[in-house]
Amino acid sequence: MWNLVAIQLVPTICMSPCMVLPLWAAGLVMLLTVWLQPSPCVAQDIPVPGQNPLAETQEIELIYIGTGSVPKIIVRGRQPTNVFPAFSYRPAHDHHVDLLSLSDGGQPVGICRVRQENLLPQLQLHFDQVRTSPCGFVWSLQSANKSLDVLSFQSLRIRGTATSLVTIELVEGSVDQRKTPTVVGRVLGPFDVEIPLAPLARRIDLRRLTQVMLSVEADAEVVLRESVLLPHKSTSYPSPAVGFWYWDYRAAIRDPEGMVAVCRQLQCRRLLLQLPDLRDSDQVWADYATLFAQTKAAGIDLYALDGAPDMIDHPTVVTDKLSRLLRLVDGGIPGLQLDIEPYLLDDFPEDETIFDRYLRTIELVRGALSGHGRLSVVIPFWFASAIHQGRSMAFSVMDRADDVSVMSYRTDVDELVAISDDVLRYGVLTGVPVWLGMETTRLLPERHMLLKREPDPALADGTLDPVRRMLTLGRPTESEKHGVDQIWLRIHHHTTLRPERISFADRPQHEVRHAITQVLDQVRLPSFSGLLIHDLPGYLELTQ
């Protein structure tokens, strides 16, 4: 009977493209997919929140949680010019890489005359008629139009001779997004220097190098006998630990012995516990403060935990909490972790100041800690490829934190490790410890619908009225097709993020322990400090 009802609905609800299918197949498809995505054939008005103008909107993403019909809306305008390009190649990092051998030749730069004798096994250059303008020579590090990723290396060694001062620079970015060259060193006479990459990593993105440039300000003869990347020398790895997030501070205060006993049973070495509310009584705060001595005696580092998206506009909420706590705990605390998630704000990502306010909040909290504890920050894995002000957001956060925890929530161990790789490599280079996250709490499925701007109203699946700030899903009406201010949108794709891909909820504990063991064995990088499980009650609810 339900098949018959579905067949009868097809012509009414969707005249195309559903009618391309046989009626019985169309009905079955509709019943199977109705919960996955809203139909573009049924008009649906959705208010667009926020204050930013919508006239330059290029795409809108709708995110439906569970069976909810009201989506979270993300509006994106014209893409900035510093979008991270996913076109880099990584040489094997366990041996030297000769930068000279990566290119077949180079070319002069500037107003001067450069004569190249040879490139291999050494580069010999004659710079003539150099006047006031800088004169240079560049060679490419690209292969098949892919940039060079050197984030896994420790240093750059250069060796040779120069009769005049030579400036050595690295160029980052693709041809249309190339940034100002970054000076890595200056040499004169016979030279043999090793340039550490860690300071450079805080200035440029070592994952997308495109050129090496040698420049002079006077006539010179330069012989570059060696230009090689050197791998990391250390082969020692710390012993990774396991930790838990815990949000119910009242439960922890009621039964601190039970909390500590569970952590010791699970061989937990770090516990992150939500800070009390400022409106809580002095007794609650005093009881919370006593937990630090109890966990320390059990060999557990207890970190205070706090954060919310709007904290970037109200940082005194956490700094006031921190000041109150530090007055109660003699000798400081092991650390404080911030879990802010500013990308959940309605104006993200259009409001480019959100990340600025976020980074400023991290700096304010670090100042409030004032050496009385370490600062840890929770970041999503995709921060590694999110570029703000020409810089990876993950790297910008790591430059301000003592350690980071990556929300690398995946049940496939290989995928979990892969999405965390860049953060781990940057941690190795800069000495910032990295924790990876695993999820055990129950999640709802997320359905994502991406609509992109469409110039032809006949192909549109929705209309955006930028004045009324109203998105209408469905085929545009004739009046909407001729609207002066209307923006037409077409569905680019639907995706559904399944909870079982993200969380270990409803799986047995032994399966999670096996996954933990796999990650601890598989990640062989000095920056890897361990796994944080979200969260302690969620893990304990897993079946034995």
* pLDDT tier at 133, thresholds 50, 70, 90: confident
Lowest mean pLDDT among 93-107, 156-170, 448-462: 93-107
Is residue 297 predicted with pLDDT exceeding 70? yes
24-38, 43-57, 379-393: least confidently modelled range: 24-38
Computed over every residue of the chain, the mean pLDDT equals 88
Confidence of residue 102 (pLDDT cuts 50, 70, 90): confident
How many angstroms separate the Cα of 507 from the Cα of each of 14, 196, 410, 439, 504?
Answer: 40, 45, 13, 11, 6
Residue ranges of alpha helices (H) inside 40-91 are none
Residue 405 covered by a domain? yes
Final residue of a domain: which of 230, 252, 270? 230
Residue 213: inside a domain, yes or no? Answer: yes
Q: Is 67 among the domain residues?
A: yes
pLDDT at residue 336, rounded to an integer: 98
Across-strand partners of 446?
65, 497
CATH of the domain at 211: 2.60.120.430
272 and 414 inside one domain = yes
**Does residue 9 register a pLDDT over 50?**
no
Of 230, 263, 293, which one is at a domain's C-terminal end? 230
**pLDDT tens sequence across 447-495:** 999 999 999 999 999 999 999 999 999 988 777 677 678 899 999 999 9
Is the pLDDT confidence value at 101 over 70? yes
Is residue 62 within 8 A of residue 72, CB to CB? The reply is yes
Beta strands in 349-400 (DSSP E): 374-380, 387-388, 391-392
Which segments of 471-525 does DSSP mark as H helices, in order? 478-481, 499-502, 509-522
Asked whether residue 436 falls in the same domain as residue 348, the answer is yes
% of the chain with per-residue pLDDT over 90 = 73
Give the CA distances from residue 350 to residues 60, 93, 222, in Å, rounded to whole numbers and listed in that order.
Answer: 11, 38, 48
Q: What is the pLDDT of residue 78?
A: 75
Rounded Cα gap, residues 126 and 406, in angstroms: 49
17 in any annotated domain: no
Are the C-beta atoms of 348 and 394 separated by less than 8 Å? no
Pairing assessment for the beta strands 220-230 and 241-246 based on DSSP bridges? unpaired
456 and 440 belong to one structural domain: no
- Tell whether 373 is covered by a domain: yes
For residue 175, is pLDDT > 80?
Answer: no
Residues 148 and 70 in one domain: no
Evaluate whether residue 4 is within a structural domain: no
* Residues 266 and 364 occupy one common structural domain: yes
In a domain, 162, yes or no: yes
Same domain as 523, residue 507: yes
For 144-153, 178-187, 253-262, 316-325, which range has the lowest pLDDT when averaged over its residues?
178-187
Both 303 and 434 in one domain: the answer is yes
In the predicted structure, residue 11 carries a pLDDT above the cut 50:
no
Q: 321 vs 145, which has greater pLDDT?
A: 321
> Which of 168, 199, 230 finishes a domain?
230
Together in a domain, 440 and 451? no
User: What is the predicted pLDDT for the residue at 4?
Assistant: 29
The 10s digit of each residue's pLDDT in 353-385 is 999 999 999 999 999 999 999 999 999 999 999
Mean pLDDT along residues 224-246: 89
Structural domain total, the chain: 3
- Do 169 and 181 lie in one domain? The reply is yes
Q: Is the pLDDT of residue 174 over 90?
A: no
| CATH, residue 429 | 3.20.20.80
Instruction: Give dist(CA 136, CA 92) in Å, integer.
Output: 30
Same domain, 384 and 326: yes
**One domain for residues 295 and 185:** no
For residue 303, what pLDDT band results from cuts at 50, 70 and 90?
A: very high
CB atoms within 10 A of CB 235: 7
Q: How far apart are CA 249 and CA 275, in angstroms?
A: 7
54 CA to centre of own chain: 26
The answer to whether residues 134 and 220 touch, using CB atoms and an 8 Å cutoff, is no
Both 295 and 342 in one domain: the answer is yes
pLDDT of residue 80: 53
Inside any domain, residue 16: no
Domain that holds residue 361: 241-444+499-540
